[in-house]
Amino acid sequence: MKQSILLEGTKFQITLKRLCQQLIENHGDFSKAVLIGIQPRGTFLAKRIQKEILAMTGTEIQLGILDITFYRDDFRVKGAAPLAANSTEIDFLIDDKDVILVDDVLWTGRTIRSAMDAMQAFGRAAKMELMVLVDRRFSRQIPIEPDYIGIQVDSIDSQRVIVSWEDVDPADSIVLVTE
């Protein structure tokens, strides 16, 4: 097994700040914008983005956490191990809001499709944007493209991209693993 470090340390932090700066440029005062992090790992990015935007602008953007377990297209696949559900914590409606959907890695697009289905329970957004830390751009099965990208990775299906967060892991990093 070979591991290649794609991003860590200062470069990781700069990438997060660049994503925040792009959001600030596009959303101004964030009066119409909300962040929604996809469980489990997208929530770490969403919380970090919320914290950075507060530090950079003094504005606290609303944050929700979305579980997509029961909206996945492989939820009831025979022979598959049962999926453990997480919790959804969205205490606001998204009607007429600009929703910034946040996930750590965009691979096939199926997670994002499931998240869009799940969000309909919270209203009809005026606009929806997608932010990902890692875009595995040559692996799409569904035509979904992110609006905000930390880094793009050209990888094959047998490779894995692992994002580590200092909140729960030893340090912030993105690693490409080849079996």
Q: Which amino acid is at 146?
A: P
At 174 the pLDDT is 97
Give CA–CA dist 112/175, Å, rounded.
22
**Which pLDDT tens digit goes with each residue over 83-137?**
667 889 999 999 999 999 999 999 999 999 999 999 999 999 999 999 999 999 8
Q: Is the whole model's pTM more than 0.75, yes or no?
A: yes
The structure tokens 């992090």 sit at: 37
Q: Strand 160-164 vs strand 148-152: parallel, antiparallel, or unpaired?
A: unpaired
Please state which of the ranges 58-62, 92-96, 136-140 shows the lowest mean pLDDT. 136-140
Side-chain-side CA neighbours of 156 within 13 Å: the count stands at 3
At 91 the pLDDT is 94
Average pLDDT over residues 62-86: 77
The two three-digit tokens of residue 13, written as one number? 């932090």
At 179 the pLDDT is 86
At 77 the pLDDT is 60
Q: Compute the C-alpha angle 55/35/42, nearest 5°.
A: 95
Write 164-171 long-range contacts (CB < 8 A, 24+).
165/41, 165/44, 165/45, 165/48, 167/44, 167/47, 168/44, 171/8, 171/9
Give CA–CA dist 61/14, Å, rounded.
20
At 80 the pLDDT is 58
**Which pLDDT tens digit goes with each residue over 6-47?**
999 999 999 999 999 999 999 999 999 999 999 999 999 999
Give CA–CA dist 101/98, Å, rounded.
10
**Does residue 78 or residue 31 have the better pLDDT?**
31
CA nearest to 134, candidates 169, 165, 113: 165
At 86 the pLDDT is 82
Average pLDDT over residues 143-149: 97
